[in-house]
Structure 1
Amino acid sequence: MPTGGEALVAALEQLGVEVVFGLPGVHNLAAWRAFAGSGVRLVGVRHEQTAAYAADGWARATGRLGVALTTTGPGAANAVTATGEAWSCHSPVLVIATDIPTAQRVPGQYRGVLHECTDQASFFRPVTKEVVHVERAEDLFAEVLRAGRLAMAAPRRPVYLEVPTDLLRAEVDGWFEAPVPVGPSSTVLVDDAVGALLEARRPLVWAGGGATAAKAGGLVRLVAERIGAPVLTSFGGRGLLAPSAPCLVPLPPHAPEAGALWDAADCVLVVGSDLDAMNTQGFRQPRPPTLVTVDVAEPVTYPPDVWVAADAAAALLAVLDALPARRRSPWWHRPEGRSTYAGQETEFLEALESGLPSNAVVVADMCVAGYWYGAFGRVGGARGLAYPVGWGTLGFGFPAALGAALSRRPTVALVGDGGFLFACGELATAAQERLPVTVVLVDDGGYGMLRYDFTKDGEQPLGCDLATPDFVALATAFGVPAREVTVGGLGAAVADGIASGGPSLLVLRAAFGPPLSTSPRWYRAAGRG
């Protein structure tokens, strides 16, 4: 008879999962055995935090469910930080962890069982959509299906599934596909939204991660063209429109030229965005005279005049059907691109982009180079940028890129010397699994952003300068091809790394100043506009 571990794997197959990232432990070996011969690739990593980051990277690059598998106690706890990042950025991730055997669990007591916690699931409650605890082996198949579907349901966010280890070894009579949940059908009501757009003389569209999740980039463009509106995107909406799209504002909202368009608009259509603090410069972005929001979740930070509670694609289709067919002339002029901020950072971005195919995914860490690409890089397509702007978790870039690298899209990790060391041991994973990821490591000898935070106030930096290894030698020791590059040679080196089909590391020694998208440089901050 099949085991609970086999039921778990069968449920993942039913969910269409192609890859799972995990680390084996004594409590989850029955699940590891069940992956043998299945259609799911199991990628073993060197740390459980990487398992969740990689699952997040896969989810961001593909739009599909990312899965991380950990063992009990410290193994599960190691995944919490990465789960929090997935939560804040609306990534559909399923974290599966084992718990101690049911026969050894005494509610309310800690008895020193290996890896025991009194309430392991409590680690995850603040950073997940739901906690699912499986109590019977017979329920495993259905509960895994439910948890995976819940993570993928809008608004997407991580779900934590906990399985006592003895249930994975237990025999089950069989499993059956759980019924596909069918939500109530409803007509999307957009009359008030369309009325507000038609009354506006200076409409503007702001698109975010919800539009990305709904694959609504083309619809965003069509609506914007129909009403003559500029399109601003949050970090979650980067790549929704091609860089050449005439309606796209080629600057982040943190640039004064882009912010001036928001300020001049008399009606803003927000599509799938939280309008969070990072994108609105600490909520200093003024509320427009009329605000129309399309989102499955009720807006919180900027209460709208009209809320269309629907999937972005469904709502925009209804809006298009109701709008007059004739295009309205744009009321705005497209601002200059990043050339306004010309300097070595712009030269770096142009060099990097020259080596990127249009379908590339750049996974940027919380480093100065990552800040520049996240705000000013030309993202070729939807899901072309993975950026930890939610929690701001330093060390995200490299391990998340390991998951994105399996998306069949060319993948580049853009990291700094400080954040890369959080997970440099995963070079072993990249080499062993032959993961096609090109790492661009910008080495400025420490935490460049923190160094700036000190020096901008005339203070002496403390704790910002780091003793770093020879990164080329380090990668080579793991069997990963590596070399130092200049800005002039960066594009060709990136193209070579991608063409190799395996992992590679490029080290660029450079120190950049932070862009306008970083909080010390927000122009809307007190006293500066």
Structure 2
Amino acid sequence: MSHDHHDERPELTPAQIEAALNPPPGRTGGDLVVETLRGLGATTVFGLPGQHALALFDALRRSSLQYVGLRVENNAGFAADAYGRITGEVAPLFLSTGPGALTSLAALQEAAAASAPVLAVSSQIPVHGLGGGRHGHLHELRDQQASFRDVVKSVHTVRAASQIPSAIAAAWESALTAPHGPVWVEIPQDVLEAETGLPVVLAPDATPRELHARPELIAVAAHLLANAERPAIVAGGGVVRSDASGKLRALAEKLKAPVVTTYGGKGAFPWGHPLSLQSWVEDRHVTDFLEDADVLLVVGSGLGELSSNYYTFAPRGRVVQIEADAGKLEANLPALGIHADARDALADLIDAVAPREDPAAADRVAGVLGRVRDRIAGQGRELEQDLLAAIRTALPDASPSFWDMTILGYWAWAAFDARRPNTMHSAQGAGGLGYAFPAALGAAVADPTRPVLAVSGDGGAMYSVAELATARQYDLPVTWLIVDDGGYGILREYLTGAFGETTGTELARPDFAALAASFGVPAVRTSPETLAADLAEAFGRPGPSVVVLPALLKMFEPTHL
């Protein structure tokens, strides 16, 4: 019989037994939720109250958990997503029933795509109304969990108070088992509100399952890599999520293998390293280089649309793919698929591979980067590159940045030097608008000691303006850069490219600086020439700031065609 960590049961002390036999009065199902989260190690809850979820919030009042309330559920989800990415810990998200829960779906989709551990606890109509009928309850859905099942990693339903601790613990374990992801727990209103005589919840065991690589596959991968003539590595978001950037660097240096990071893997490998091909995954020169590798190690990436240069990437050598999401193994390319957590598998490979010598590797990398630079230089896109340089100058190296689906964000994916792992984040996983500012607020909650940058266009900013109130209420050190080009800039370019004209992309918008000021948030209109100084001043000031940059930016020309 096998034994694992789940089999070790702590002995209760006499005082703990006495406490279990005499639980304090006045507790409800909501308290069981909060006590379980506390026992699991949660410190912060994001969310937005609603009629059926009142007992959850009443229990919060009695607990030591910090509550951060946002103004829209989707934004609360984005904040929780960023908190999970920055800390690597589970971010609880409290939601109401029906419209409140459904409004979070786009944020949970992003958390799923980016492997962010968010634990959503949603209320539900009372138990007697469940079962697909139409009882006329406010917020009622025929099958609420069906709306979440396609989005989150796992769904956990509660129908009685005694089920609460186990459901929360199972969800917690699921959220933190590689690949990390959002999970959803549904608890009816009457179960949350009913008084309970159950003992106070002690710390439950929700240790995530470890995902080890099969040793025979590591042996084959190590043999292929050590004997390769032109090995190369593609590092994805899984390297960042599993905190494996140090292991990645050690393996790359042992193999003398050039490394490209995907957009989700930004910061996983040092930008200026002699083996760094940076993150120009949409550049044909880089794609050609990767296609020429005789052994390509893909770690923590499913090689999706962007990472495969719009599915044009056709490697000629052997591909080894390490991926924690079993469904992504060989989903886009045939490979030696290794189902494993990136950190764990990279450690195994470092031990197993023989070192390689390749004195020409750094020269080949420099040659590719030179061709990329020349290509971009021929497109007359100095303004966009100057803006990124100004941001990089002003932003402290350890400060996280959050980028919306906006033209400057697309530039940053390819051209911005994220100087530390896990400091650059965007919504490129699912691609929804409005991510940057509420996510930056979540990151500031996770670590209020360093300034945080959010970058949006004016279109995406309108999704998030309500959260200026949140930034002010909690005095969060987030500087929000809004690039105002009078519309949906990327869609303007896409529509023009596809159809020769645009529809629905031109937008009336507020005076963002005046709007921010009305929330009590300091704001300044800037220019490309003054951007670095204005950002530096904002970063140096406590609390939130808004910097508005009127500018019409252009994308770099794609090279996948």
Q: TM-score range by the shorter chain?
A: over 0.9
Task: Map 1:367-382 onto structure 2 (within 5 A).
Answer: 367-382=406-421
Residues 84-129 of structure 1, C-alpha deviation per residue, up to 9 Å, x if partnerless? 12112222111111001113x1423111112111111111110011
Residues 387-422 of structure 1, C-alpha deviation per residue, up to 9 Å, x if partnerless? 111221011122222112222143111000011001
> Structure 1 residues 482-491 or 438-447, which shifts more?
482-491
* Contact 1:137/1:172, CA 8 A, preserved across alignment: no
Which whole-Å CA distance do the structure 2 matches of 1:182 and 1:55 have between them?
19
Which whole-Å CA distance do the structure 2 matches of 1:15 and 1:181 have between them?
9
Which whole-Å CA distance do the structure 2 matches of 1:441 and 1:84 have between them?
24
* Contact 1:339/1:346, CA 8 A, preserved across alignment: no
Q: Which residue of 2 aligns with 1:388?
A: 427
Which whole-Å CA distance do the structure 2 matches of 1:312 and 1:471 have between them?
42
TM normalised by structure 2 equals 0.88
Task: Give the secondary-structure state (helix, strand or coil) at the position aligned to 2:264.
Answer: helix
Task: Map 1:143-222 onto structure 2 (within 5 A).
Answer: 143-170=167-194, 171-174=196-199, 175-181=201-207, 183=209, 188-189=214-215, 190-222=218-250
**1:401 and 2:440 correspond:** yes
Which whole-Å CA distance do the structure 1 matches of 2:104 and 2:498 have between them?
36
What amino acid maps onto 1:32 in structure 2?
F
Q: Which residue of 2 aligns with 1:287?
A: 315
1:276 shift after superposition:
0.6
Q: Which residue of 2 aligns with 1:116?
A: 140
> Structure 1 residues 458-467 or 174-183, which shifts more?
174-183
What amino acid maps onto 2:113 in structure 1?
S
Q: Which residue of 2 aligns with 1:74?
A: 99
1:360 shift after superposition:
1.5
Residues 480-512 of structure 1, C-alpha deviation per residue, up to 9 Å, x if partnerless? 110101122212222222222211100001111
What amino acid maps onto 1:133 in structure 2?
T
1:296 shift after superposition:
2.4
What amino acid maps onto 1:39 in structure 2?
S
TM normalised by structure 1 equals 0.94
Report the CA distance shift for 1:117/1:180 in structure 2 as closer, same or farther (over 3 A).
closer
Q: Which residue of 2 aligns with 1:235?
A: 263
* Contact 2:281/2:306, CA 8 A, preserved across alignment: no
**1:467 and 2:492 correspond:** no
What amino acid maps onto 1:336 in structure 2?
L
1:138 shift after superposition:
1.7
What amino acid maps onto 1:242 in structure 2?
P
> Structure 1 residues 80-89 or 437-446, which shifts more?
80-89
Which whole-Å CA distance do the structure 2 matches of 1:142 and 1:282 have between them?
43
Q: Which residue of 2 aligns with 1:422?
A: 463
* Contact 1:444/1:511, CA 8 A, preserved across alignment: yes
Q: Which residue of 1 aligns with 2:497?
A: 456
1:427 shift after superposition:
0.8
Task: Give the secondary-structure state (helix, strand or coil) at the position aligned to 1:359.
Answer: coil
Q: Which residue of 2 aligns with 1:267?
A: 295
> Structure 1 residues 282-291 or 261-270, which shifts more?
282-291
* Contact 1:58/1:404, CA 8 A, preserved across alignment: yes
Q: Which residue of 2 aligns with 1:39?
A: 64
Give the alignment partner of residue 395 of structure 2, picking from 329, 353, 356: 356
Task: Give the secondary-structure state (helix, strand or coil) at the position aligned to 1:307.
Answer: strand
Q: Which residue of 1 aligns with 2:369?
A: 336
What amino acid maps onto 1:352 in structure 2?
I
Report the CA distance shift for 1:325/1:108 in structure 2 as closer, same or farther (over 3 A).
closer
* Contact 2:173/2:206, CA 8 A, preserved across alignment: no
Report the CA distance shift for 1:378/1:106 in structure 2 as closer, same or farther (over 3 A).
closer
What amino acid maps onto 2:369 in structure 1?
E
Which whole-Å CA distance do the structure 2 matches of 1:9 and 1:255 have between them?
49
1:143 shift after superposition:
1.4
Which whole-Å CA distance do the structure 2 matches of 1:204 and 1:387 have between them?
25
Report the CA distance shift for 1:11/1:496 in structure 2 as closer, same or farther (over 3 A).
farther
Q: Which residue of 1 aligns with 2:16?
A: none
Report the CA distance shift for 1:495/1:53 in structure 2 as closer, same or farther (over 3 A).
same
> Structure 1 residues 244-253 or 182-191, which shifts more?
182-191
Q: Which residue of 2 aligns with 1:524?
A: 560
* Contact 1:224/1:231, CA 8 A, preserved across alignment: yes
* Contact 1:55/1:400, CA 8 A, preserved across alignment: yes
Which whole-Å CA distance do the structure 1 matches of 2:238 and 2:211 have between them?
20
* Contact 2:49/2:57, CA 8 A, preserved across alignment: yes
Q: What stretches of structure 1 of length at least 5 have no aligned partner?
A: none
> Structure 1 residues 56-65 or 455-464, which shifts more?
455-464
Residues 70-91 of structure 1, C-alpha deviation per residue, up to 9 Å, x if partnerless? 1111111111111112112222
Q: Which residue of 1 aligns with 2:21?
A: none
**1:255 and 2:280 correspond:** no
* Contact 2:148/2:155, CA 8 A, preserved across alignment: yes
* Contact 1:401/1:411, CA 8 A, preserved across alignment: yes
Report the CA distance shift for 1:37/1:472 in structure 2 as closer, same or farther (over 3 A).
same
Which whole-Å CA distance do the structure 2 matches of 1:494 and 1:118 have between them?
49
Report the CA distance shift for 1:327/1:317 in structure 2 as closer, same or farther (over 3 A).
farther
Which whole-Å CA distance do the structure 2 matches of 1:33 and 1:184 have between them?
36
What amino acid maps onto 1:93 in structure 2?
V
* Contact 1:229/1:330, CA 8 A, preserved across alignment: no
Task: Map 1:295-310 onto structure 2 (within 5 A).
Answer: 295-298=323-326, 299-310=329-340
Which whole-Å CA distance do the structure 2 matches of 1:182 and 1:272 have between them?
18
* Contact 1:364/1:387, CA 8 A, preserved across alignment: yes
* RMSD (CA atoms): 1.9
Report the CA distance shift for 1:478/1:233 in structure 2 as closer, same or farther (over 3 A).
same
What amino acid maps onto 2:108 in structure 1?
T
Report the CA distance shift for 1:458/1:168 in structure 2 as closer, same or farther (over 3 A).
closer
Residues 287-341 of structure 1, C-alpha deviation per residue, up to 9 Å, x if partnerless? 3320111122330323444222222222112211122246443432323377542
Report the CA distance shift for 1:304/1:461 in structure 2 as closer, same or farther (over 3 A).
closer
